[in-house]
Structure 1
Amino acid sequence: MDGMKNPMERIREIYEQLSNTQRKIADFVLKTGDGVCFLSLTQLSQEAGVTSVTVVNFCKKLGYSSFSDFKKGFQYYIQGVISPRHVVKSDLADYQARPEEDFLQQVMAHEMNLMSDTFTCLGKESLIQAAELLCKARRVYLVGKGLSLPVIDLFLSRLDFLCLDAKKVSFDNLNLLPNRLANAGPEDVFVVFSFPNYSPIIGEVAHSVKEQLSSRIICITDKPTAPPACYADILLLCQTSGLVYYNSMTTPTSLVTILTSLMAVKVQGQASPAQEKIPQLAYLRKET
């Protein structure tokens, strides 16, 4: 089924064809909306008061091959509704009519508000858990595309400084993507970045990492309906809606700085074999 098909409209279209039991599911989905994206098969069946088999049959009635396919279609639809399709917002006439100094002040205030809103809502416990998870990881995989790449490069440089094994996952050749992930396992942590316009492949990677590799996932994104969010062990939400541009990377960059600062404090004094070798290799810092 087309992932961008409106599942809510599809439910309404066939509502009269549903059995009384299936209508319980339909009523629950229509009432809950995008909250369905976060429910497992068992949770949805319990909330609707039906069996798991009935939920699966309901999904097939809508044209989906499975419950997972239904959730994916629902997520893609929600993302299609909320995701911007342009880099710059179209309604700039009001800003153009103002003095540049006033506009500059407004942009600066907006960026500060993005950070304030993010860190007010972001639980300190989640940051502490994320830092602990990263410090204990055998290897950290950094996943993202587009505007996330400069933030990932910053993250990678900080992890290099801390002597932590880290790797940026490249999407330059999708034929090699399975090879680049194949060595990951339960001892590894993936940090997945996802911002509008959301890339479906990022969600697919998160799904595979969780289901096939059993690795842990930290997701840094702007909305809980982003493709990889439902697979995250730790979800870190950032406000990224800029005043002019749809995406502002100010907050994700700050979040990475805060997270790696916390990690630096944690590893301080806990000399790893790699850190103990640094003095022996210090001569390499000198130019020849």
Structure 2
Amino acid sequence: MSENNGVLARIKDKYAELSPSARTIANYLQQFPLTIISDSTSEIAAKTNTSKATVSRLFRQLGYASHQDAKQDVVLQRDAGIPVKQVLDQHDYVAAELGNLQRTLEAIPAEQINQVAELLANAPRITLIGYRNSYPVALHCRQQLKQIRPNVRLLPQPGQSLSEDIMDLSADEIILVFGFRRRPRIFARMMEALPPERTLLFTDPTGQVYQDRVKHLLLCQLGNQFAFDSYAAPMSLVSVICNQAYTLLGDEGDRRVSTITSLYAQMGELDPE
């Protein structure tokens, strides 16, 4: 048996032993594995012109007690962030993205958005931390905050460890951590080392295990309908919070934006509109 014990790996390992009808089903599941979650045994049989009994027998040949066990296996893989290939049309993607965004923003109270924005507007220093797939979201947040306020840094620096930077955190520093699923092993130890009263965590539902280690937990929906996670909701949440922080900064934020805009023109860093 393959080290990856998912449905697709089991199909590959057992394919030579399958009957022609079972191979027809296996071929379909390899192309559309998420139908194991969305479709019943009867629906899979109808789509492959086979029988319900043949579909059930295939799952048993793959080592599952039932279709439900196979479904749970696929759900666990996607909830862990493991890519599972699926072919869907553009409408499906749009609907899924809108759903992720709506569930994310509707679940976070406006009061919490304001509290986080106030921290980002008023903190003397801000440190952002993001590893792997969380790094681009942290970089996006840094880019927005740097336009409206000073003393914002992003960790870890390329090729550098984190311990010396954590050691130098000041007592008035706010730490924004971005930790989406498939986090590196160091993440849990890092959360233990950070001061909970000054740490904010942007994460997906799997990150709720760290809720006692942070001042604010901001949950983002990444979806599990497609092979790869979507970061549209976290990116939007960052924009919502940074926009609110900019509003709270008032004239101070406006002066900084104006100065940076003049420097862009002076240095010719941006293409003319």
Whole-angstrom distance in 2 between the partners of 1:257 and 1:283: 23
- How many residue pairs end up in the alignment? 193
| Aligned-pair CA distance for 1:114 | 0.5
Is 1:129 aligned to 2:107, yes or no? Answer: no
Q: Does 1:285 align with 2:265?
A: yes
**What TM-score, normalized by structure 2, do the two folds share?**
0.62
Provide, for residues 190-215 of structure 1, a one-character-per-residue CA deviation record: whole Å limited to 9, x for no partner: 111111112232222222112xxx76
Q: What is the correspondence of 1:54-203 to structure 2 with a 5 Å cutoff?
A: 84=80, 86=82, 88-90=83-85, 92=86, 95=87, 103-170=89-156, 172-173=158-159, 176-203=161-188
Give the counterpart letter for 1:202 in structure 2: F
Query: 1:224-268, CA deviations, whole angstroms, 9 ceiling, x for partnerless residues?
Result: 645643311011111112421342100000001101000110112
The runs of 5 or more residues in structure 1 that have no matched partner are: 1-79, 97-102
User: What CA deviation, in whole Å up to 9, does each residue of 1:42-75 have, x standing for no partner?
Assistant: xxxxxxxxxxxxxxxxxxxxxxxxxxxxxxxxxx
Report the TM-score, using the length of structure 1 for normalisation. Answer: 0.59
CA RMSD after TM alignment:
3.0
Q: Give the C-alpha shift of residue 186 in structure 1.
A: 2.5
Q: Percent sequence identity over matched residues?
A: 18
Structure exhibiting the larger radius of gyration computed from Cα positions? 2
2:22 corresponds to: none
Residues 225/278 of structure 1: CA separation in 2 closer, same or farther (3 Å cut):
closer
What does residue range 201-240 of structure 1 map to in structure 2 within 5 Å?
A: 201-210=186-195, 216-223=198-205, 225-226=207-208, 228-240=210-222
Preserved contact between residue 126 and residue 153 of structure 2 (Cα < 8 Å): yes
Separation in 1 of the partners of 2:99 and 2:91?
A: 12
Letter of the aligned partner of 2:107 in structure 1?
C
Q: Is the 8 A contact 2:246 2:253 kept in 1?
A: no
Helix, strand or coil for the counterpart of 1:142? Answer: strand
Q: Are residues 1:262 and 2:210 paired?
A: no
Distance 1:249 1:225, change over 3 A: closer
Determine the C-alpha separation between the residues in 2 that align with 1:123 and 1:184. Answer: 29
Task: Confirm or deny: 8 A CA contact 1:189 1:217 kept in the other structure.
Answer: yes
